[in-house]
Amino acid sequence: MPALRDDHPLHSRTNASGLVRAYRGDRPEITPVWFMRQAGRSLPEYRELRQRTDRPGRNMLDTCLDPALASEITLQPVRRHGVDAAIFFSDIMVPLRLVGVDVTIEPGVGPVMGSAIRTPEDVDRLVALDPAVLDEALEPVREGVRQTVAGLAEIGDGSTPLIGFAGAPFTLAAYLIAGRPSKDHLEARTLMRSHPDAWDRLSRWAGDVTGRFLRAQVEEGASAAQLFDSWAGSLPLEQYREHVAPASRLALDAVRDLTDAAGRRVPLVHFGVGAGELYSAMDLDVDAVGVDWRVPLDVALERIDADVTVQGNLDPAVLGAPWEIVEAAIDHVMMAGSVARAHVFNLGHGVPPTTDPAVLTRIVQAVHAR
């Protein structure tokens, strides 16, 4: 197995961090905590930065591909909240754009494609785009990660790890096929049922593309990697197992061979939204499984039926409640997570943009104090 570069943080600075230890199954004395979507719209410093740097015609994806901006935005919640990990500020659409897909992020809408992929012929045209072009096209992402890792080395004792992330193939395919966000992903599920061979070509292509995105982040300094499947919960278990899990495994395989100086692989995390009925198929040889707010962590662990770390799963809706309710919810999550080999505290999904940042800081302090 190829070792990570000599100056990779996992060789020294982040190897003994609470987050990496927990992902690897060594429960630390203090439960590590970070929040999905902890960077971005909930922070006043992010809004101020965007006001200073935005210009006409600039898209969200342009911000993601500006190394200095992506790095600064990634570091902001670490400085403010004292979380135990940074997660790289980017978007799951970035590798699609860089491979040649016509995609933009429309404010208030989300990812919108220039044209939807609806037929086997559409799939053939899409998969003709060679994922190998990403090896050079991802240089802005690589540079953003390098700058972020350097910035993390200057915060606190320098041990805070960076988490790399990518969108799962099914989620990417759902956007590609619908052409925009969809409530029920009917178009994707229809292609999966009607043209399984075309679906297989599309999902494996998406797995290759998003896997390269994930690998680039890890090679440049991310100490863990998380695969997000935002829309997997729309599928029944057998459809997921047969038509989705193989491509997700392919994406994770892109970084599975990278090891630290002791020969241990980079920790892998798999997270799905609304995936309570799929947990028995979501392990995919990962180190941790993220759980959304719908299923208690101890129940999810029974369904996963594997020796994995659990991550989650405070309901984001609780963030707007009085503190005594937030505190009770924290205790409930930590009690449920105590049955796992280790627990990484998080939300059950992303931070809502209306969240008071002071509440997140207080949650971090409360989790650390327990």
What's the CATH code of the domain at 70? 3.20.20.210
The domain tally of the chain equals 1
Q: Which of 41, 204, 241, 362 is catalytic?
A: 41
**Residue 311's domain spans which residues?**
9-369
What stretches of 285-356 show up as alpha helix (H) in DSSP? 297-304, 323-337
Q: Is residue 190 part of a domain?
A: yes
264 classed as catalytic: no
Q: 331 in a domain, yes or no?
A: yes
Q: Does a structural domain hold residue 360? A: yes
Measured distance CA(24)–CA(259) in Å, rounded: 13
Nearest to 162 by CA among 96, 229, 71, 240: 71
How far apart are alpha carbons 43 and 8 in whole angstroms?
29
50 belongs to the catalytic site: yes
346 cis-preceded (ω within 30 degrees of 0): no
Residue 3 covered by a domain? no
Angle, CA of 86, 113 and 38, to the nearest 5°: 15
Over residues 258-268, the pLDDT tens digits come to: 999 889 999 99
Evaluate whether residue 4 is within a structural domain. no
**Listed residue (67, 90, 82) closest to 35, CA to CA:** 82
In a domain, 165, yes or no: yes
From 13, 37, 80, 303, active-site residue: 37
- How far is residue 24's CA from residue 342's CA, in Å, rounded to a whole number? 8
Per-residue pLDDT of the chain (370 residues; tens, 9 = 90+): 678 999 999 999 999 999 999 999 999 999 999 999 999 999 999 999 988 887 776 788 999 999 999 999 999 999 999 999 999 999 999 999 999 999 999 988 999 999 999 999 999 999 999 999 999 999 999 999 999 999 999 999 999 999 999 999 999 999 999 999 888 899 999 999 999 999 999 999 999 999 999 999 999 999 999 999 999 999 999 999 999 999 999 999 999 999 998 899 999 999 999 999 999 999 899 999 999 999 999 999 999 999 999 999 999 999 999 999 999 999 999 999 999 999 999 999 999 999 999 999 999 999 999 9
**CA 270/CA 280 separation, integer angstroms:** 12
Of the listed 21, 46, 80, 91, which one is catalytic? 91
The pTM of the full predicted model, rounded to 2 decimals, is: 0.96
Instruction: Assess whether 240 carries a catalytic annotation.
Output: no
Residue 98 lies in a domain: yes
Structural domain includes residue 2: no
**Catalytic annotation, pick one of 175, 229, 249, 279:** 175
Q: Which residue has the tokens 């449920």?
A: 336
